[in-house]
Structure 1
Amino acid sequence: MIYINARFLTQKVTGVQRYAIEICKLLPKEILGKKIVFLAPRKAMLNPLFKEFNSIAVGKLEGQLWEQIDLPFFLKRKGAPLLINFVGIGPVRYKNKIMMVYDLAFKHHPEWFSKIFQLTYNLFIPRSLKNSKHIITDSKYVKNDLIKTYNILSEKINVVYAAPSSIFVQKQISKEPIILMVSSLDPRKNMIRVIKGFNELDIPHKLIIVGARGTAFSDLKIPDLRNKEKIKFAGYLSDEELVELYNKAELFVYPSLFEGFGIPPLEAQKCGTPCLVSNVTSLPEVYQDSVAYCNPNSVSDIKNKILEVLNNNTKRDFLVSKGFINANKYTWNKSAEDFILIIRNNIS
């Protein structure tokens, strides 16, 4: 057997859960004659994907306790088979596992996270990495960061990129004066500087911010909303609702301070919307010349780049065209093929 840690089925879907779900949907029923089995806490039974993945509920605990006690206890009774860990810390002391790591923001910027989250991750992630058979990351940037930060051998790490889901497509919808931002309400997503920059603009556009606050992150101090009639916090939206907004928006902004990959701009590109993203961490690797770039630490640069794109039809058309080309380079089918090959190479 090959087991999947499906605790992610108990969590709200953000970028890391989406990665896990999309790859898992494309996994075969078995690899090299070994059946793939999904293991999850009982709470996951409320998620329709629990049944779709033919998951098994094991143990009685939840959250980290389930992952550190119930899950490894079950695996050891089964002879310590290979485990695939898509999200979070994983069972720290369990060694026969492939571990997915999306970024090391908790290490480099602990101030962005709740105290309990950053302390837990900084204590246990290094140990779990050391005890992993193999590691997968979502960009070359994260791979190099792992090598530099934790002195992990390069050959122990593979890169498997994320991709936009197939639901994100261009529709025959007229553009509206909307600047769109989609992310969890996480300090590193840089929403505060976007709002400050937008407050200084004299344009007819609305700023719509989509996303929910996560328990892992530190509190955000929202600045004075001078244009509050033009700023809308839409909360958490379904993919169907997101597709409509992506298609309506004249500009998508993603001036993140730290990303391991960054899926939302790909979704916007698939919907024919030009993107403004930050020029740091993994984003130049993923988006190359298909987006406009800004300095995420500068309110004035974010503001000026928003105006530059909105006021230049030729530049917007160029970014839309380049965006389609870029987004089409990333597919979940290709990523799943790469992921399956890594599993095959790590089966004892």
Structure 2
Amino acid sequence: MAKKKKIIVIEAQRIFRKNKHGMDFVALEMIRSLQQLDWFNQYIIAVGPGEDHCLTATENFRIVVLESSNYLVWEQVLLPRLLKKEQAHLLHCTSNTAPLRMHIPLVLTLHDIIFMEKKIGNNASTYQNLGRIYRRWIVPRVLKRVHKVITVSDYEQQNIKAAFPQLSQHIITVYNGVSPRFRQLSSFSDSRFSALENRSYWLLLGNTDPKKNLKNTLCAYAYYLQESAFKKKMLLADLDQEHLDQLLGELDLHAIKEYLILEEYIAHDLLVEVYNKAFAFLYPSIRESFGLPLLEAMACGTPVITSNTSAIPEVAQDAVVYIDPSDISSIGDGMLKLENDAILYKTLVGKGFVRSAQFDWNQTAAKTLDIYEAVHLSK
């Protein structure tokens, strides 16, 4: 019996926006790899309006822009309308939520259920709070209709099964990949980084989400400066000056300001340069469903200091220095340990190359395609 060609709609609502986040890049990289893998089925990539046209259509991959900046309208009205118009056979929603009214099989990528858990801290904006409320309301309802759930680590799979036991036979782990763009560089295009001495600073992505543990890390850096004979500076990326000043005042850490290099915005394409120049990457997050940045740093030959919590040990294994993210001295001692042990440093560089090479977007796309085929066969 001949294989039947399917019309598959992939929701990638936010990939055209300029300031993308983790889930957006996961969707984008998976789709790009799927384009190289599957020339048989027909795909419609549903995106929202935005300036960064980062995905190119191919013969069997068509991009459709649904013109609404209102996420609720986009997902619950315009996306179902597109499915009906295109007579789609399958919908893959890539970022935790999906339409409630479905007449075709649904594959849902559920990166995590952090929104169902007790909040860590209270720094969320009104927009973030509304998003959390929306996800808490809609995800349990969508999960009653889903055909297959993809998540990004075995750690998160166990969390989801515990919260939603009915998914035990419908959930699968598909790891994220590492783009080949993340590699060791011999030259640098951005003057901000070409002027910096190679391996001269600690790198911290300054996300204000409380689970990223920025306050403890700044306190740990102050402890490091007291104890270190080298006193390397720290580059804080993606944090604005006003928020940094507020934090330094709150924590009484104005003395460390002269050691901080602040870059309020770094385009994702330039992150490879930032990783390459860093002495080490600090990733002391309290809660991660995967932890893609630590693998990107490893692929650039940059050692990582990271937390012994959540999915991080599953992803990083023995290729990092582990710390307790709730313990300021543990973070600081981890920094001092790496700085003072040249053999450890060299060992982690080598282990990082090996570990990061095990995560490939082509593998992610191949496993995703297998899921599409299995869902189709079960119907």
The two structures have a TM-score, normalised by structure 1, of 0.90
Q: Does 1:298 align with 2:327?
A: yes
Deviation at 1:221, TM superposition (A): 4.8
C-alpha contact 2:37 2:365 (8 A) present in aligned 1: no
Match of 2:8 among 2, 16, 19: 2
- Segment drifting more, 65-74 vs 50-59: 50-59
Q: Does 1:309 align with 2:316?
A: no
Residue-by-residue CA offset, 1:67-122 (whole Å, 9 max, x unaligned): 11111123234446311111241213336210001112112233554432222111
Go from structure 1 to structure 2 and tell me whether the alpha carbon gap of 1:56 and 1:117 turns closer, same or farther (over 3 Å shift): closer
**Structure 1 CA distance for aligned equivalents of residues 118 and 184 of structure 2:** 36
Residue aligning to 1:196: 219
Larger CA Rg, structure 1 vs 2: 2
- Segment drifting more, 226-235 vs 78-87: 78-87
Whichever residue aligns with residue 297 of structure 1, its letter is: S
Residue aligning to 1:284: 313
Go from structure 1 to structure 2 and tell me whether the alpha carbon gap of 1:59 and 1:248 turns closer, same or farther (over 3 Å shift): closer
Go from structure 1 to structure 2 and tell me whether the alpha carbon gap of 1:60 and 1:101 turns closer, same or farther (over 3 Å shift): closer
Residue-by-residue CA offset, 1:171-223 (whole Å, 9 max, x unaligned): 2476333011136331111111110111122242111122358xxxxxx9553
Gaps of 5+ in 1: 214-219
Q: Does 1:207 align with 2:234?
A: yes
Gaps of 5+ in 2: 1-6, 188-196, 241-245
**% same residue:** 27
Match of 1:175 among 198, 203, 216: 198
Number of equivalent positions: 340
Q: Does 1:48 align with 2:77?
A: no
Match of 2:141 among 124, 127, 151: 127
Whichever residue aligns with residue 237 of structure 2, its letter is: V
**SS class of match (2:14):** helix
**Structure 2 CA distance for aligned equivalents of residues 311 and 125 of structure 1:** 47
Whichever residue aligns with residue 211 of structure 1, its letter is: D
**Structure 2 CA distance for aligned equivalents of residues 54 and 287 of structure 1:** 36
**SS class of match (1:247):** helix
Deviation at 1:51, TM superposition (A): 4.5
- Segment drifting more, 334-343 vs 74-83: 74-83
* RMSD over equivalenced CA pairs, Å: 2.3
Go from structure 1 to structure 2 and tell me whether the alpha carbon gap of 1:344 and 1:184 turns closer, same or farther (over 3 Å shift): farther
Alignment of 1:1-348 (within 5 A): 1-11=7-17, 12-28=19-35, 34-41=41-48, 43-44=49-50, 46-49=51-54, 51-52=56-57, 54-58=62-66, 62-79=70-87, 81-94=89-102, 96-112=105-121, 113=124, 114-172=128-186, 175-182=198-205, 184-202=207-225, 203=228, 204-211=231-238, 221=247, 223=251, 224-347=253-376, 348=379
Go from structure 1 to structure 2 and tell me whether the alpha carbon gap of 1:272 and 1:124 turns closer, same or farther (over 3 Å shift): same
**Structure 1 CA distance for aligned equivalents of residues 98 and 216 of structure 2:** 34
Deviation at 1:152, TM superposition (A): 3.2
**SS class of match (2:255):** coil
Deviation at 1:147, TM superposition (A): 0.2
**Structure 1 CA distance for aligned equivalents of residues 199 and 33 of structure 2:** 36
Whichever residue aligns with residue 14 of structure 2, its letter is: F
- Segment drifting more, 72-81 vs 101-110: 72-81
Whichever residue aligns with residue 45 of structure 2, its letter is: F
Go from structure 1 to structure 2 and tell me whether the alpha carbon gap of 1:153 and 1:311 turns closer, same or farther (over 3 Å shift): same
Deviation at 1:155, TM superposition (A): 2.3
The two structures have a TM-score, normalised by structure 2, of 0.83
Go from structure 1 to structure 2 and tell me whether the alpha carbon gap of 1:16 and 1:225 turns closer, same or farther (over 3 Å shift): farther
**Structure 2 CA distance for aligned equivalents of residues 16 and 167 of structure 1:** 18
- What stretches of structure 1 move > 4 A for 4+ residues in a row? 29-33, 77-80
C-alpha contact 2:8 2:89 (8 A) present in aligned 1: yes
Go from structure 1 to structure 2 and tell me whether the alpha carbon gap of 1:209 and 1:10 turns closer, same or farther (over 3 Å shift): same
C-alpha contact 2:12 2:24 (8 A) present in aligned 1: no
